[in-house]
């Protein structure tokens, strides 16, 4: 009893040390930017991830008890509910809660890591692994202070699941059947996309059983209750099924039905569509296509968003290794150590699904590396603690692992000190959204690129057409079309897309089984066209628009100039054939140097003031106009437009207050974004200014 008590005390001490370390390191960002006003709003730090505003919106609406129909507020999502609970019971402001939640929740990962090590009889390995895993590059990046997202528990929960599986296999105790099932239920509640990892765990347990313990009835009980917890049914129904199955397990006479229960569970899993979400995730992250075609109607082709998401792209090995372990050397040591650890304790094979998902980063993007972090940390920790056995003196047995642990931690701490991520918006940008909130009604729509969708909804309490979760090619196309086409055409598309979106909500509410085409295809057919290209061309002529049911606003931030080419890609496609059209020319730079009559704009682009031409690599293009913009002391925009060559191919715009040059072809120059956001040129019959700030412009649609 004394030995057990001592081990428990040591376990709690190690958990406390690792947890405090994880929290302390995450506070580095806080002290680096303490008092930095641009990152603060209403005297509170803002969060630094776009998706966080989605869950913040849901929590806000839960607390207020108010949300409008079809506003897409996630009031039923676990992250929103848990946040609302914390905000309700804790004596802190809402902004403080969402800012610090990632620090506390993500640091809980040290608990299952140390508990797993305890089950293997090596608590020191657990402490080292917990220290390494809690601050490794990718885990820190996605759980740092202010990174308010589901990632703050997305590794904690599967690590608890891994712990419960290891304990179940090692002990064959019934209580761990229930613990494991509850882990799955909780993980699915928190993160509905957990299907793939749960299924991988199931497959590995089945493999383990068939190879080493195929006569162990307990393992089949584990597999059956696990599958029942995974089926694609309502969470309360799954909980009830799990409890019934566990009650049956407690009665010896039902043991002969264990195999039948497993068969029923597998059939129910596939019958309830359990594999569909797994296949969907594989398609969008692994088997990525640039163009996705619709299945119905005209079979329109849309540009796939995953082609533009950095976290879904291929990464170099050095980046891959550093994100998992902090350094390539540490990564290689971790892999070797994990192999040795599984040789000593084969139950650690159950960590392979997490490693496998982490290694998908090579094919599917850097976001997955986070999953491999805690399991591979065991590998490095095991080798580090094993070095003590080869040390000749007690002092060296302590100092050698300590020094190696510090060496493994240093690259991660250096990364954290240099990882000065800004907040999503700065204070002046939020002031624009606050003004928009005072102007717009909750049923109104704001047109903006999907990157800004969640923050707009949070700060302005309005609706958006696209956001961080609603950004498939078919919904991105109309918004891209609006932002990159002339204002007259864009205005019509804005009214059409908003009204068709609302009609879509109404029709699906009336018939939940109704399969609708994309808004663009619905418009094409409604206006009597069989070719969407013809419909889009018709918007340049007189067009009868749907009846206006709400106001529409355009939010045009200056920062969107950095992603304008990406925005354009989604509408720069022939929807009928799927062929990409010739790219428009858009170039922006803050790096320039004037030498006499020539301005070197970097990247091989030179603007010759005397000949009014632009050299783009080896190609020379004539300049149609040179525009210089500036803000006066009253923050009013002034423009100086000098026409050079009426037949010119390019326009050069110098935004003096931003220290930025733009080089644009005629199509881009005439786009809504450039005309309204950069030049403040607009047809007063179509648009009305709402906010004209240097950080962002807001216009109201008048048709």
Q: What is the pLDDT of residue 295?
A: 47
State yes or no: pLDDT of 308 exceeds 70.
no
**pLDDT-derived band of residue 281, with 50, 70 and 90 as boundaries?**
low
Range with the lowest mean pLDDT among 315-319, 550-554, 610-614, 670-674? 315-319
556/561 Cα distance (integer angstroms)? 10
- Give the mean model confidence (pLDDT) for residues 104-126: 97
Beta bridge partners of 696: 557
Q: What is the pLDDT of residue 349?
A: 96
**pLDDT-derived band of residue 309, with 50, 70 and 90 as boundaries?**
low
Which uninterrupted H or E stretch holds 41?
strand 40-41
546-599 tens-digit pLDDT: 999 999 999 999 999 999 999 999 999 999 999 999 999 999 999 999 999 999
CATH of segment(s) 427-569: 3.40.1380.40
Average pLDDT, the chain: 93
Q: What is the pLDDT of residue 361?
A: 78
State yes or no: pLDDT of 123 exceeds 50.
yes
242/227 Cα distance (integer angstroms)? 9
209/172 Cα distance (integer angstroms)? 13
The β-bridge relationship of strands 650-655 and 660-665 is: antiparallel
DSSP 56-78: HHHHHHHHHT---TT----TTSH
State yes or no: pLDDT of 246 exceeds 50.
yes
What is the token pair recorded at 435?
Answer: 């003004």
State yes or no: pLDDT of 611 exceeds 90.
yes
State yes or no: pLDDT of 360 exceeds 60.
yes
Say how many CA atoms lie within 13 Å of 317 toward its Cβ: 4
**pLDDT-derived band of residue 299, with 50, 70 and 90 as boundaries?**
confident
State yes or no: pLDDT of 496 exceeds 70.
yes
- Give the mean model confidence (pLDDT) for residues 219-246: 94
The β-bridge relationship of strands 463-464 and 445-447 is: parallel
- Max alpha carbon distance in the chain (Å)? 95
What are the respective helix, strand and coil percentages of the chain, to the nearest 5?
A: 60, 10, 30
Helices then strands, counting H and E runs in the chain, come out as 31, 18
- Identify whether the C-beta of residue 242 lies closer than 8 Å to the C-beta of residue 228: yes
- Identify whether the C-beta of residue 508 lies closer than 8 Å to the C-beta of residue 516: yes
The DSSP secondary-structure symbol of 573 reads B
419-436 tens-digit pLDDT: 999 999 999 999 999 999
140/567 Cα distance (integer angstroms)? 29
> Is the Cα dihedral 8, 13, 14, 18 positive or negative?
positive
105/155 Cα distance (integer angstroms)? 10
- Give the mean model confidence (pLDDT) for residues 36-50: 95
Q: What is the pLDDT of residue 313?
A: 54
Q: What is the pLDDT of residue 372?
A: 97
Q: Which residue has the higher pLDDT, 18 or 517?
A: 18
State yes or no: pLDDT of 298 exceeds 90.
no
- Give the mean model confidence (pLDDT) for residues 106-132: 97
**pLDDT-derived band of residue 678, with 50, 70 and 90 as boundaries?**
very high
- Give the mean model confidence (pLDDT) for residues 332-350: 97
- Identify whether the C-beta of residue 487 lies closer than 8 Å to the C-beta of residue 672: yes
State yes or no: pLDDT of 274 exceeds 70.
no
State yes or no: pLDDT of 244 exceeds 80.
yes
229/627 Cα distance (integer angstroms)? 63
State yes or no: pLDDT of 275 exceeds 70.
no
**Taking the domains of the chain in order of start, what are their residue ranges?**
2-418, 427-569, 586-701
Q: Is 341 left (phi over 0), alpha (psi -120 to 50) or beta?
A: alpha
State yes or no: pLDDT of 311 exceeds 60.
no
- Give the mean model confidence (pLDDT) for residues 540-550: 95
474/477 Cα distance (integer angstroms)? 5
- Identify whether the C-beta of residue 123 lies closer than 8 Å to the C-beta of residue 169: no
């Amino acid at each position: 009893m004394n030995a057990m008590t001592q081990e428990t005390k040591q376990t709690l001490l190690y958990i406390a040390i690792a947890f405090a370390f994880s929290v302390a390191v995450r506070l580095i960002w806080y002290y680096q930017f303490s008092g930095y006003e641009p990152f603060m709003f209403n005297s509170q730090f803002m969060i630094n991830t776009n998706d966080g505003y989605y869950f913040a919106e849901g929590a806000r609406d839960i607390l207020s008890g108010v949300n409008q129909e079809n506003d897409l507020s996630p009031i039923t999502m676990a992250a929103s509910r848990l946040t609302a609970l914390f905000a309700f019971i804790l004596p802190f402001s809402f902004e403080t809660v969402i800012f610090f939640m990632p620090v506390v929740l993500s640091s809980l990962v040290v608990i299952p890591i140390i508990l797993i090590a305890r089950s293997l009889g090596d608590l020191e390995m657990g402490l080292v692994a917990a220290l390494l895993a809690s601050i490794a590059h990718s885990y820190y990046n996605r759980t740092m202070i202010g990174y308010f997202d589901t990632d703050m528990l997305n590794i904690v929960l599967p690590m608890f699941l891994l712990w419960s599986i290891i304990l179940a296999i090692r002990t064959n105790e019934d209580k761990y059947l229930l613990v494991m099932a509850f882990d799955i239920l909780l993980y699915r509640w928190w993160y509905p996309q957990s299907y793939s990892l749960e299924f991988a765990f199931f497959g590995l347990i089945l493999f383990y059983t068939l190879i080493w313990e195929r006569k162990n009835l307990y393992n089949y009980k584990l597999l059956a209750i696990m599958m029942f917890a995974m089926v694609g049914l309502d969470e309360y129904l799954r909980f009830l099924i799990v409890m019934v199955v566990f009650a049956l397990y407690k009665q010896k006479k039902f043991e002969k039905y264990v195999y039948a229960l497993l068969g029923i569970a597998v059939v129910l899993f596939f019958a309830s569509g359990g594999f569909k979400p797994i296949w969907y995730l594989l398609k969008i992250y692994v088997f990525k296509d640039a163009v996705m075609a619709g299945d119905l109607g005209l079979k329109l082709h849309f540009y796939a968003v995953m082609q533009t998401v950095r976290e879904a792209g291929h990464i170099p090995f050095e980046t891959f290794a550093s994100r998992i372990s902090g350094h390539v050397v540490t990564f290689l040591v971790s892999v070797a150590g994990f192999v040795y650890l599984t040789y000593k304790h084969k139950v650690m094979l159950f960590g392979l699904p997490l490693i496998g998902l982490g290694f998908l980063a090579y094919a599917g993007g850097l976001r997955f590396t986070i999953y491999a972090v805690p399991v591979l940390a065991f590998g490095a920790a095991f080798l580090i603690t094993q070095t003590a056995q080869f040390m000749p003196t007690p002092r060296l047995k302590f100092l050698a692992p300590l020094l190696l642990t510090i060496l493994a931690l240093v690259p991660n701490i250096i990364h954290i000190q240099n990882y000065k991520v800004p907040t999503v918006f700065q204070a002046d940008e939020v002031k624009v959204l606050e003004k928009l909130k005072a102007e717009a009604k909750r049923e109104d729509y704001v047109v903006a690129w999907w990157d800004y969708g969640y923050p707009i909804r949070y700060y302005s309490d309005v609706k958006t057409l696209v956001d961080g979760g609603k950004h498939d090619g078919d919904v991105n196309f109309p918004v891209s079309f609006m932002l990159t086409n002339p204002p007259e055409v864009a205005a019509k598309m804005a009214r059409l897309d908003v009204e068709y979106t609302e009609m879509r909500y109404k029709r699906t509410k009336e018939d939940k089984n109704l399969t609708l085409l994309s808004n663009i295809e619905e418009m094409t057919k409604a206006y009597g066209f069989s070719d969407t290209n013809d419909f889009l061309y018709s918007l340049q002529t007189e067009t009868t628009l749907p009846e206006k049911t709400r106001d529409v606003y355009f939010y045009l931030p200056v920062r969107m100039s950095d992603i304008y080419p990406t925005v354009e890609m989604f509408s720069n496609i022939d929807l009928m054939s799927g062929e990409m059209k010739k790219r428009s020319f858009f170039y922006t730079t803050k790096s320039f140097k004037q030498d006499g009559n020539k301005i070197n704009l970097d990247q091989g682009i030179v603007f010759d003031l005397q000949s009014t031409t632009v050299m783009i690599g080896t190609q020379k293009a004539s300049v149609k106009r040179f525009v210089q913009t500036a803000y006066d002391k009253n923050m009013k925009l002034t423009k100086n437009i000098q026409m050079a060559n009426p037949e010119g191919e390019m326009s050069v715009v110098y935004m003096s207050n931003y220290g930025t040059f733009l080089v644009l072809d005629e199509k881009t120059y005439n786009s809504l974004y450039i005309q309204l956001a950069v030049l403040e040129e607009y047809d007063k019959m179509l648009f009305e200014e709402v906010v004209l700030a240097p950080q962002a412009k807001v216009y109201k649609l008048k048709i």
